[in-house]
């Protein structure tokens, strides 16, 4: 199967966006702006967006969706062909209630989230559901009600987890590409998840613990070295779990981060606003997986412990 599918689109997909924040607002917004049938689930922004629409300021071009299919709960939404789950993993327990009204017999749910074993966790509650995972390589923030700012990058990689959905995922990739979003199909979802962890584990955690940005981490020699060490530790864990990631992938990640615009990762913003941190999916799950395969990530474990201390201090 080719990495990017460029066949003719045979049917028009109906999309649901669950979690219209930095990711859902951008990716769903780009799909809707290109003319796709997209339905957005909002929480606190619902009333504002109904009156004012969704605004996306992007390095690829700004746009404003004035007339948007906005909903406050999924009971009001139509059944969709594709559900893009863009919630933080700390909210995934709510999917048991959120998803059923959106599903028909062929619906594919794509988990656009960071971390490991996210799809397997969903499959416990929905054993017969068509499920895929997506890795977003993007710098994007929600800066206000109905207002998304896309700073850099934007590629999305999608891989199948369970169900006969490879052809559908290919069409989703086509829709993204036609919407000016780089997209590709992953033949190995597990590998893609570990590759994303090579970036997420050092930058998300260190930006919180050191109260800094990716730019500052890369500028200082000692933190640059620490980021590099953490990346190699993640690659070692991946290898123990049967995933081969070439060592030159570290250089590629360091180089791309050095040239990106100054950025505060999603976990840093959660810390700033005293929201729950995605410790479980990004740190605990990989640590357990690696340890069960005989590999200890000592530096990652220390970072996880520091993050847990910080989160537990919120109420003090």
Listed residue (192, 212, 214) closest to 260, CA to CA: 214
The alpha helices in 179-220, defined as continuous H runs, are 189-209, 214-219
CA distance 93 to 36: 29
Using left for φ > 0, alpha for ψ between -120 and 50, and beta otherwise, residue 29 falls in alpha
Task: DSSP for 75-126, please give it.
Answer: GGSPP-SEEEE-S-GGGGGGHHHHSGGG--TT-EEEEE-SSSSHHHHHHHH-
Q: Supply 34's token pair.
A: 């290109």
Tokens standing for residue 133 = 């995972």
Q: From the centroid of its chain, how far is CA 108?
A: 16
Marked catalytic residue, from 55, 88, 190, 196: 196
Residue 313 CA to residue 106 CA, distance in Å, equals 44
Catalytic site includes residue 196: yes
Please report, for residues 16, 108, 153, 243, 282, the alpha-carbon distance to residue 205 in angstroms, rounded to integers and kept in the order given: 30, 31, 21, 23, 9
Residues with a catalytic annotation lie at 196
């Amino acid at each position: 199967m080719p990495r990017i599918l460029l066949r003719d689109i045979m049917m028009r997909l109906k999309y649901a966006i669950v979690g219209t924040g930095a990711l859902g607002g951008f990716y769903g917004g780009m799909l809707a702006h290109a003319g796709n049938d997209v339905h957005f689930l909002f929480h606190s922004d619902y009333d504002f967006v109904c009156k004012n629409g969704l605004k996306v300021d992007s390095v690829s071009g700004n746009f404003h969706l004035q007339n948007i299919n906005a909903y406050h709960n999924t009971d009001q939404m139509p059944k969709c062909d594709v559900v893009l789950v863009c919630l933080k993993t700390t909210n995934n327990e709510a999917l048991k209630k959120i998803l059923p009204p959106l599903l028909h017999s062929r619906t594919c749910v794509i988990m656009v989230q960071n971390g490991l074993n996210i799809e397997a966790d969903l499959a416990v509650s929905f054993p017969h559901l068509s499920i895929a995972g997506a890795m977003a390589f993007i710098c994007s923030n929600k800066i206000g009600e109905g207002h998304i700012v896309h700073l850099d990058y934007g590629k999305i990689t999608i891989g199948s987890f369970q169900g006969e959905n490879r052809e559908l995922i290919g069409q989703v990739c086509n829709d993204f590409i036609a919407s000016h979003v780089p997209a590709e199909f992953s033949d190995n979802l597990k590998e893609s998840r570990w590759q994303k962890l090579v970036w997420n584990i050092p930058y998300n955690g260190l930006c919180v613990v050191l109260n800094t940005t990716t730019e500052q981490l890369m500028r200082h020699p000692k933190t640059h070295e620490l980021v590099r060490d953490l990346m190699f530790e993640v690659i070692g864990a991946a290898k123990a779990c049967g995933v081969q990631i070439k060592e030159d992938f570290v250089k590629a990640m360091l180089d791309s981060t050095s040239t990106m615009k100054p950025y505060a990762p999603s976990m840093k913003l959660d810390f700033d606003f005293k929201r729950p941190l995605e410790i479980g999916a990004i740190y605990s799950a990989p640590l357990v997986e690696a340890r069960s395969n005989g590999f200890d990530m000592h530096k990652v474990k220390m970072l996880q412990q520091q993050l847990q201390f910080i989160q537990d201090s919120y109420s003090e």
